[in-house]
Chains A and B, each alone.
Chain A
Amino acid sequence: MMRAQIISLLREFMFTLGSVADGTQWYLFGSVDRNEADAADIDLIILCKTDAQADALRRLIDTDAFPLPLHLSFLTFEENAEIGATKLQKSSNISP
């Protein structure tokens, strides 16, 4: 229940960011992704096209604006290809 609600909120939020978020991919992992009742925060990886896009999104996203604190990780696609963060975290792609 919690997982579905949070994914819905994150997707809505992503659309409000407009062109700044163009081309990004969002991955949920951790306790919310596992739909655990006592989840303490929302673990989210956002893959970005460039460093500048990652920096812009970091500035724009209010981590206290969700039902649980948002724990953000920004990587470029290049970095994710290098260390496989999304696979390592057993994350779920939630971007459309």
Chain B
Amino acid sequence: MSTNATNWVAEKLVSKEGLQVSGRTQEDFLIVGDESDYTFLVAVLGKKDKIERADVEPLFSGNNKPEFIVNIPSKAIWTGEAINFVHKANAAFGTLSEVSNAYRTGDAGSYREKNMRFYTNAFWQHSNVTDVTFVYETVLKVDRRRGESLIIAIVDAYNMSAEDIRNTRDRVGHFDIALKSTSYGGITSNATSAAESIGAEALMFREVMARLGK
């Protein structure tokens, strides 16, 4: 990542997030936090579309290992392989604003985005589920004892529209279920039709949990 982008992130962490940045490592990782209390290393990536395993692997090859990785721009999507690699390295990833959340845990590498943590845990606890893995940062593959595996895309929509379905398809490709991430609001009949037209379903959380057993 260019020093300019790292400088930009450092400035925002101080001015917007109210964090301290006390220095940098030789790898240009930011030392974030209060030196008298808790600090952790933040690496900055600059992938525009997708973050792959090959993009994150080199960050862990030096003497210092990052505990949190920020990509700029934030709308670039993390692939499952990159996420799994980062998590296995006891590190976390997220947006600029999530650096503060990670700091507050006191163990930044263990930080996980709360919505995806909720869905991952909920699916794991289903009696018919044998494995849950990331396909992308908001897409999970759920393996089941009975029935085929299901690709579930979590759609961050208060009201799920047909455009949400098309946009999700454009961003992540095939999925079996589009899960509306909030419990209030609705799914339009056009969204249901748009999902059906690509062989998928548009469902609320409680419907997904029922679907996992069928």
Binding site for B on A (CB under 8 A): 40, 43, 45, 48, 51, 54-55, 58, 63-64, 69, 71, 73-76, 78-79, 82-83, 85, 88-89
Contact = CB atoms under 8 A, between A and B. Distances in A.
A71 B97 CA distance: 15
A68 to B, nearest CB: 9
Given A73-B157, A74-B161, A88-B159, 12 more contacts: A51-B162, A51-B163, A51-B190, A54-B162, A54-B163, A55-B166, A58-B163, A73-B158, A76-B162, A82-B189, A88-B158, A88-B186
Given A55-B166, A64-B74, A83-B185, A78 B190 contact: yes
A79 B191 CA distance: 9
Most buried by A among B158, B185, B190: B158
A73 B75 contact: no
A34 to B, nearest CB: 15
A65 to B, nearest CB: 10
Interface residues of B, number: 23
A74 B189 CA distance: 14
Nearest to A71: B156
> From DSSP, what is the main secondary structure of chain B's interface residues?
loop
Q: State the main secondary structure of chain A at its contact with B.
A: mixed
A85 B163 contact: no
A73 B190 contact: no
